[in-house]
Amino acid sequence: MWVIWMVVLVSCDKEEPIPSYVYIDQFDVNAQSEFGTSSSKITEAWVYANGDLLGVFPMPAVVPILEEGDTELKIFAGIHDAGILGRPRIYPFYEPVVMTRHLVRGQIDTLALTTTYLSPQKIKLEMNITFDLGNVMTDDIDEDTSTFLTLFPEGVEGEGGLMVVTDSTPKLVVGTNEFVPLPATGSEIYLEMEYHNDIPFSIWLGGHPSATVREIQPLSSLNPKMTWNKIYIPLRDLVQQTQWSDYQLVFSVDLTEAQIAAGTKKGTVAVDNIKIVRYK
């Protein structure tokens, strides 16, 4: 008996739906007066459509969306923790932008995004250093009167702070003359800062474990940036680890023996628009 096998091939190809698109060029901040400067460095947009996360998009970006008609978009401002590319996250102190757009398949809708800080009822600007009202970083921790932070007129917005080391005075450590309380509750705390530098420098937190003892702990080291750069540095973990009664911001600049041997005679670090922001 002959058995005939017949194979019938049925095409399962389906026509892919045509997405709608939104174009995001940049994400700006319009800070309320309580929160100082509007300077920011928002690098990605975290985009939700009708409650679903579409992805994290480095800007400028064209975002495909498999929706049409009236669609709710919720877009969060993304940063890199401590400037590290491998640590993208939503910045917790910026409001998401929420809007409804009428999307058309195959068409690009251009979005102009501007956010603000969360309300003053939710967050607090614990420290705000612009240098326009004078120098508040006068705690001479290295006890070398020849090295200190000075004011200079070419800050990001008005006056800035300048630190200089040389081959004859290679070490500078200076802190804020103000100590502030920071809660060790596990809630978010961030240092925002703008800087440019031609040698590496480091950021520390100083504080009082007790009334008669002061300590400092390293927070972050920053490589040279020849133009102004904005950075967001999380403080929560270090504050939880230390649980001091109060805290100060400390900068350390060090012209190393290796750098001097290689011919470097001078190093400069400029800083401006320094904030510590936290949940209430």
pLDDT tens track for 76-132:
999 999 999 999 999 999 999 999 999 999 999 999 999 999 999 999 999 999 999
Q: Which CATH number fits domain 20-115: 2.60.40, 1.10.150, 1.10.1060, 1.20.5?
A: 2.60.40
Residue 122 confidence (pLDDT): 98
Residue 16 confidence (pLDDT): 82
Residue 15 confidence (pLDDT): 74
Whose structure tokens read 């026509």? 15
Low-confidence ranges of the chain (pLDDT < 50): 1-11
Residue 3 confidence (pLDDT): 39
Domain boundaries, the chain: 20-115, 123-279
> Domain 123-279: which topology?
Jelly Rolls (2.60.120)
